[in-house]
């Protein structure tokens, strides 16, 4: 099996129908990874070049008009046999795949993907400057900024780390508060935050997460800081997306207590519980929720894994070293 890269263009109708979330989930379920993305309005001449081999077809001008009529989403996908998986299993031919389920006709057919390794290489080369331009724009906006995202299992010490970072000038922000600001702009004020996030992530998570980034940067500007921590990073796609979009201006701090016995004893003392078993009954159901939400997977992409099984002073020394490393 060979690792390949390919391209997906989510067309205007794919975006309008709220299919981005479904496409992303299908990509992941096929063992593939989205390694870059950008949203833009394609120039007509670029689209003509993309479909150049079909110039003699009667539908050529109509498809060019449609794909260049409104913003699209470009996805760079990587994985084993990515070209065939994306083209024939994910996007699919009629009546299979995303196209078979949601296409209106041969023009409004949700998404485009190259049909061979050669065409994938060619189209990725054609689209490369779009990804580079977006990265340059992001770098300009993020210059001088740094964001630490705190995560970990239940009662691992995230709040302790956040408070210590705050004492070192790394302003402590709550992820839930930032998402509440997004919700208040997008939906009725009485909609539960969980329902709002679930609905938006199913439909178009990238738009939601881009709005989160906007709120984060706006809040950092409002409080006059270039360095912040966000707490607590939940599982799923947000962490990888922030890592992709913010690049070296972002670091996931996974706070870990490798030995559960230590965590249970600390919880017993903190809550004045009678036994280790009582602490387990308190923590294990919460751990199960964390596991189902994908928190352990964040450890695999964390920039720093913080061992919090020692003393408080040892924890502070580790955090101080990390701050010095990233803010030097």
How many alpha carbons lie under 13 Å from residue 226 in its C-beta half-sphere?
A: 8
CA pair distance 104, 156, nearest whole angstrom: 50
Residues 6+ apart with CB under 8 A from 93: 99, 100
**Radius of gyration of the chain from its Cα atoms, rounded to whole angstroms:** 23
Helix (H) or strand (E) holding 19: none
| Known active-site residue 129 | no
Q: Please name the residues in contact with 107: beta carbons below 8 A apart, sequence gap of 6 or more.
A: 59, 62, 63, 66
234 within 8 A of 295, measured Cβ to Cβ: yes
Entry field: residues in the chain: 328
Q: From the candidates 41, 112, 164, 249, which is the catalytic residue?
A: 112
d(CA 260, CA 237): 27
The H or E element containing residue 230 is: strand 227-231
Residue 263 to residue 310: CA distance in whole angstroms: 11
| Sheet with strand 250-256: strands edge to edge | 171-174, 227-231, 146-152, 250-256, 304-307
Q: Give me the residues paired with residue 146 across strands.
A: 227
- Please give the order of strands across the beta sheet that includes 3-10: 33-40, 72-80, 3-10, 111-112
Q: What is the dihedral of CA 298, 304, 309, 312, to 10 degrees?
A: -130
CB 220 within 8 A of CB 264: no
Active site residues: 112
């Amino acid at each position: 099996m060979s690792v390949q890269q390919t391209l997906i263009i989510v067309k205007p109708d794919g975006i309008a129908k709220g299919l981005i979330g479904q496409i992303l989930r299908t990509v992941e379920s096929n063992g593939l990874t989205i390694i870059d993305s950008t949203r833009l309005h394609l120039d007509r001449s670029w689209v003509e070049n993309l479909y150049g081999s079909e110039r003699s077809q009667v539908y050529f001008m109509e498809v060019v008009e449609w794909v260049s009529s409104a913003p699209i989403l470009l996805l760079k996908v990587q994985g084993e046999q990515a070209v065939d998986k994306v083209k024939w299993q994910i996007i699919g031919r009629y009546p299979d795949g995303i196209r078979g389920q949601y296409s209106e006709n041969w023009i409004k057919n949700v998404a485009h993907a190259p049909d061979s390794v050669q065409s994938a290489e060619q189209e990725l080369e054609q689209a490369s400057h779009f990804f580079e331009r977006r990265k340059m724009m992001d770098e300009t906006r993020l210059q001088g900024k740094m964001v630490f995202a705190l995560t970990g299992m239940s009662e691992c010490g995230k709040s302790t780390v956040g408070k210590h970072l705050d004492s070192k000038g790394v302003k402590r922000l709550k992820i839930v508060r930032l998402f509440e600001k997004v919700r208040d702009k997008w939906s009725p004020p009485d909609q539960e935050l969980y329902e709002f996030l679930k609905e938006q992530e199913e439909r178009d998570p990238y738009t939601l997460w881009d709005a989160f980034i906007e709120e984060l940067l706006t809040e950092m500007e409002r409080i006059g800081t270039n360095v912040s921590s966000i707490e607590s990073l939940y599982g799923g796609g947000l962490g990888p997306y922030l890592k992709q979009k913010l690049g070296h201006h972002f670091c996931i701090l996974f706070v870990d207590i490798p030995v559960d016995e230590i965590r249970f004893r600390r919880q017993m003392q903190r809550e004045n519980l009678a036994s280790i078993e009582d602490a387990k009954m308190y923590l294990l159901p919460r751990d199960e929720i964390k596991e189902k939400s994908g928190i352990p997977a964040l450890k695999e992409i964390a920039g720093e894994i913080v061992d919090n099984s020692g003393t408080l002073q040892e924890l502070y020394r580790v955090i101080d070293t990390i701050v010095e490393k990233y803010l030097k």
